[in-house]
Chain A
Amino acid sequence: MGIKKINSLESENSKLQNAFLKNDLSLVVEIYTKKAKLDLKMGNKENAYFNFTQAYIFALEDGLEVSDEIYKILLKAKREI
């Protein structure tokens, strides 16, 4: 893993941490969804559905409409019923 990749991971994680600190759940959902989509693109399915799940749970908690979309993604991949 190159230095650049580690740095960008660290900054993603601190963004996530900050979003949690501010209790900004829609930002949390956005960050996890972004990660998940990137994972899918990279062909890393397991990470992708892990991150979609994280996004889904916080979207539900915050009553965000986007939870429906994420649910459909999880359902299609047989990760939800």
Chain B
Amino acid sequence: MCSDLSKVNLPISKANGLPNSHYIDEQVFQKEKECLLYDNWSGVAFEHDVVNPGDALPLNLLGFPLLIVRDYTNQICVYQNVCRHRGMILVEEKKNIRGTIRCPYHSWSYNLDGSLRATPHIGGPGYNHHKDLNKKSLRLKKIRSYVYLGVIFVNISDSAEPFEKTNCSLMSRWSEFNKPLFSCKNYSSFQLELKCNWKLAVENFCESYHLPWVHPELNVVSKLEDHYNIESKDQFSGQGSYHYTQISDNGRVFVDFENLSESWKTGAEYIALYPNVLLGVHRDHIFSVILQPISKDFTLERVNIFYASSRSINKDYSKLREDNFLFWKSVLSEDIFVVEGMQKGRYGKFFDGGRFSPAMDGPTHNFHGWVANQYSA
């Protein structure tokens, strides 16, 4: 199927969006898996998915088996979840590891730092070493990882620049939010199922053009003209609002981040950090969304809300947290029909990727340009 990207990087007034094949073609999807997701910093889990030392969470990113571990020094490490002996999956289910990670096949045992600790019977029954096998050279394959705004990012192919370098401009733009975050069990997280390609969820999130139509209730508190576009070549795009209003419960509002600049008192920003993480920041809470692609036309959207202060996760804030949770859940659910509708639209073979509104669609055009560059590189 055609993947002519020549029009994608034209100036927005002349450009077309990504061709249909980037949403419905299996070959393109497989190539994008490598060049968009594996070659870059993709979000795969939340920091609190492995809350206690020894917690080990297996997951996969489009088939690539990952093992996320919190070690006994409280650091998060990510490994390829594959034994160095016969390639068995090491950990099948989330668990807490008290000592070593023992492969369930022949029991080669690994320390949480990835080193190979024991190789039982490797030299014959009761002989646990062999001159031809050096344990030191058989560590678990470490996958580069970085935790930012509660999300664990990985660079599977080990080819990306360091996370802080790739994302320096967002990290400095939002440096005031790079602080401890607080989240509790109830009313903090939810998951949505999207029958669409993951990129459509990115594209929809980063533009504000649809707000008055898809989220009319938002337009009451934050009008379209209160929004501005955010575009950073090759890293992220999104939208900001000058009119964030805190929700309140009988005058009670969530506690703010400390030492925020004045502009954040009424400002909020929503940014898609390429490839697959969506973030929103406000004076009193942030949310992080991980888009987990399952197939070319199915995506899981995992959402977690984090608060700025430990006080906001106290019991007396539970009503407010419930309201905030229901608010975001309903806003993000309102987007489901459009991302799924756009997916169906990609089967219209005369669709040419679409023409952009030069005034409103900059963030989407920016993302498409990034995709096209990665794809053609």
Contacts and interface: CB of A to CB of B under 8 A. Distances in A.
Q: Do A and B bind each other?
A: yes
Interface of A: 46, 48-50, 52-54, 56-64, 67, 74, 79-81
B121 A50 contact: yes
Q: Chain A contact residues: over half helix, strand or loop, or mixed?
A: helix
Interface string B118-146: 10110001111100000000000000000
26 contacts: A46-B125, A46-B126, A48-B126, A49-B125, A49-B127, A50-B121, A50-B126, A53-B128, A57-B102, A57-B109, A59-B99, A60-B100, A60-B117, A60-B118, A61-B99, A61-B102, A62-B99, A63-B98, A63-B100, A67-B99, A79-B126, A79-B127, A79-B128, A79-B129, A80-B129, A81-B129
Contacts of B99: 59-64, 67
Contacts of A56: 118, 120, 128
Interface residues of B, number: 15
A62 B100 CA distance: 7
Interface in B76-105: 98-100, 102
The secondary structure that dominates the B interface is: loop
Contact of A61 (B109, B126, B128): B109
A16 B98 CA distance: 21
B222 interface: no
Contacts of B120: 53-54, 56-57
A57 B118 contact: yes
A39 to B, nearest CB: 10
A53 B117 CA distance: 13
Contacts of B107: 57
Nearest to B110: A60
A60 B120 CA distance: 12
A67 B118 CA distance: 11
Interface of B: 98-100, 102, 107, 109, 117-118, 120-121, 125-129
A80 B117 CA distance: 11
Contacts of A57: 102, 107, 109, 118, 120
A7 B33 CA distance: 58
Contacts of A62: 98-99
Contacts of B127: 49, 79
Listed from nearest, the 8 A-B pairs whose CB atoms lie closest are A63-B99, A49-B126, A63-B98, A50-B126, A61-B102, A60-B100, A81-B129, A53-B120
Contacts of A59: 99
Interface centre among B118, B120, B128, B129 (most CB of A within 10 A): B128
Contacts of B126: 46, 48-50, 52-53, 79
A54 B125 CA distance: 10
A52 B127 CA distance: 10
A53 B100 contact: no
Contacts of A58: 102
Contacts of B100: 60-61, 63
A73 B109 CA distance: 18
B128 A60 contact: no
A48 B127 CA distance: 11
A17 B126 CA distance: 21
A62 B125 CA distance: 22
B376 to A, nearest CB: 48
